[in-house]
Chain A
């Protein structure tokens, strides 16, 4: 393939679109976002709604407090028989988790190198991963997760169980509200996610099955 061809295609496509549009300009109707702006829940109702919606798609909830959450997580995982927990060492949450971790709990595995050095273990030897969230959305029952160098993208995807820390005061009404209030458009991260349950499929005769490619279980750790 010559180097010139892609540029030719670009100019041909844009030229044709411009000619088509200029011959028949289109005046779109106004975009009225009122329907999203008006979707509101009382602050006290948001978490209940999030729980109801996410539990409907098999999400589990663990209620705890700021002081107790590392212990609550450890107790929960012990009871589940979890052997390994992937965590980010450099986040405040990760440091607290490590500081309060006691003998007899699952092994804490840091995600501290590039995935290339770690892929085999990540895919074969990790039971659970724990990440923070940027809050949750009442409208759809969704967690907002922005992976970072400290909490890489695959932490919430590859381990069989994903634990997500949610602060009970970080709740939004709608996806639209979360992105406009926090001015996401000013700078999007490498990857931004909404996560609304464990991985699922209905591709075999419309029968719902959980844990097809991503986590089989999603556990939201609610911190009050």
Chain B
């Protein structure tokens, strides 16, 4: 495939050796898990609302092309201009052409994971446009010239002290303080000026309602409302799976989303936008553009099983509960979407040649599946992608790219041994005699013994002992 593979193993090893990072994640994840559990303490209610949420998402997927057309028609009727992008390059080009038409110099952004997929900030900066993140966590990460480490709490990898130093270093008027209220107030002062003067506001979309042509955004800070209300132009970017059929589908999904994500019964703001400023209205953008991005989603959709990846409502609960993510943190994944959902989504978007390691960043413990508010079979998909990576085929980009002759031979040998009593008796007998003498540095065995103790073989096999007790061979 010619694509370099991203090295999760290496990045995670580095992350594991950073005690500060591990402490920051441990503390945050423990808090999030216990608070979420309180929100869903009533298991009857949880099961019912979860089933409803899953049905809303599945119904949307069952009619996806029709709903997207309906969304487009209703948005257009409402005065929202709809654009379609097959790739992130196309999406960036669409955004840029709007910016250039209105001669935009400064953009304020509400939080949007799709814009992270697009690497939109870097792209705009290459074209001389300042693109400023306004969600506090995203703002911190942008000041730090880093990537978000969590889809809901972008700066969760940092503690207050680290943020205090960052602000002192990067913001002109900053005095050093570790007082969170003062740090927050500083960001407020800096960003208010930007909201008031920005030429364009960019946001993501939590849900788009086909029935009414409405874009729904949930947030706590008010930066999303600022970005979508103050600048004269608003551009919303969404993945094509974010559509729901009816307006009444919104309340159950929002309830699952906010409780799963941050353990709140609801966010401070639920912002539903259906049109640009109408005649006589005194504020709001004069233009709204909706960019609908594919970026591999239509290929994911084509596969009956993998399609379930697109149910996701981006709550991040799977990360908070993942024994891998909570240890290594988000940056080790080197992807816009980390954690369990990232480990199944990113390989499908970017291909298994580049991202084939990610489905292995999983212990298959099923914690993510148990808490997923829309019941995505994450672990099954993880297994499927592991298999796709070693079997050439056309259902996933890069299928077969990780096939290894040595591994294939080992499995073939294993299956032959287990299919033949004679071979099995010979192989186990051999291991009983010589297994302990095998050096830990043997190829393949080394992969295991690198990080684990080598198993000790008993001097006699189980079959042997059984025979001695008079249990006959079948």
Question: How far is B51's CA from A167's CA once the two chains are assembled, in angstroms?
Answer: 35
A44 within 8 A of B: no
Most buried by B among A31, A148, A215: A31
- CB distance A209 to B184 under 8 Å? yes
B10 within 8 A of A: no
A98 within 8 A of B: no
Q: Which of A1-9, A74-82, A101-109 is the interface stretch?
A: A1-9
Chain A min CB distance to B374 (Å): 12
Q: Which of B248-256, B420-428, B433-441, B442-450 is the interface stretch?
A: B248-256
Q: Determine the chain A residues whose CB is within 8 A of the CB of B392 once the complex forms.
A: none
8 Å CB contact of B269 from A113, A188, A195: A195
Q: Which of A60-68, A115-123, A126-134 is the interface stretch?
A: A115-123
Interface of B is mostly: helix
Q: Determine the chain A residues whose CB is within 8 A of the CB of B192 once the complex forms.
A: 123, 213
Question: How far is B395's CA from A23's CA once the two chains are assembled, in angstroms?
Answer: 13
Q: Determine the chain B residues whose CB is within 8 A of the CB of A34 once the complex forms.
A: 48
8 Å CB contact of A206 from B31, B140, B154, B246: B31
- CB distance A21 to B64 under 8 Å? yes
- CB distance A204 to B61 under 8 Å? no
- CB distance A192 to B62 under 8 Å? no
Most buried by B among A112, A115, A206: A206
8 Å CB contact of B283 from A18, A120, A153: A153
B268 within 8 A of A: yes
Chain A min CB distance to B384 (Å): 15
B55 within 8 A of A: yes
B280 within 8 A of A: yes
Nearest-CB residue, chain B, relative to A88: B282
Most buried by A among B86, B180, B247, B268: B268
A70 within 8 A of B: no
| In the complex with contacts A13-B240, A21-B301, A196-B266, A26-B249 CB distance below 8 A | no
Can you sample 26 A-B contacts with CB below 8 Å?
A: A1-B97, A9-B86, A10-B84, A12-B86, A13-B84, A13-B240, A26-B307, A31-B56, A35-B48, A36-B251, A53-B265, A114-B283, A123-B193, A140-B265, A157-B225, A157-B226, A174-B251, A176-B248, A192-B272, A200-B221, A205-B24, A205-B160, A206-B27, A209-B180, A212-B222, A213-B195
Question: Besides A20-B298, A25-B62, 13 other CB < 8 A contacts?
Answer: A9-B84, A9-B86, A13-B86, A31-B56, A175-B251, A175-B254, A190-B278, A193-B270, A197-B268, A199-B268, A211-B185, A212-B187, A213-B192
